[in-house]
Amino acid sequence: MKKLVLTSAAAIFAAAPALAADNTSEDVIINATVPEECSIEDINPINLGEIDIVTAAGSDALQIDGRTQQDANLVWVSCNFTNQMTLETPTPLESASTAGLGAMTGSQPFTNQINYRFRAQNFGNSPEARSLDQQTLVGRAEAPVHKQIRFRAIVDPADNVGIRPYAATDYTATATVSITTL
């Protein structure tokens, strides 16, 4: 008898109509905005050290001899959108202590200015600007980036043909790095 009662109770629940509840649902769209952002860490000054010059007597004496280069500290460059880097080298390295001497030409072509290059070593196609051209170099468009970039300053004899820099310890210039979203 117990068995029959249990079966009957199960049959009653299966046959009873479900209680209808008023149910409804609605999808909600959630929106957000992430702003375009490009940032770059401070770049430490780059000290090129002593520039090699020809020390032997002769027609090339005292001219820049050999390539000198130095890297800045690695700096974080972060840009969350297609971007472009601009490098500017508006003036050569210049010595203030020899400024009064100016540039002399002819058989004694001394100068208080040294041309240099400034490069972003591992950013896209490694854009490079040259003070020889007082150049503003706009690099190609690049994908979003978040990595450490190595900046490099270079003094190359090819950019300083026929000049002899005055002896001085205060040659300096300011290059500018700009990164913009496109």
| pLDDT for residue 105 is more than 80 | no
Give the integer Cα–Cα distance in Å for 135 and 129: 6
Q: Which pTM was predicted?
A: 0.79
Q: Are 129 and 118 in contact (CB under 8 A)?
A: yes
| pLDDT tens per residue across span 44-64 | 999 999 999 999 999 999 999
Q: Average pLDDT over the chain, rounded to whole? A: 87
Evaluate if residue 128 carries a pLDDT over 60: yes
Let me know: does 43 contact 73? Beta carbons within 8 Å: yes
pLDDT of 124 > 60? The answer is yes
> What domains lie within the chain, and their CATH numbers?
29-181 (2.60.40)
The model's confidence at residue 11, banded by pLDDT at 50, 70 and 90, is low
Please indicate whether residue 111 or residue 29 has the higher confidence score (pLDDT).
29
pLDDT band, very low/low/confident/very high, at 98 (cuts 50, 70, 90): confident
Nearest to 179 by CA among 139, 122, 119: 139
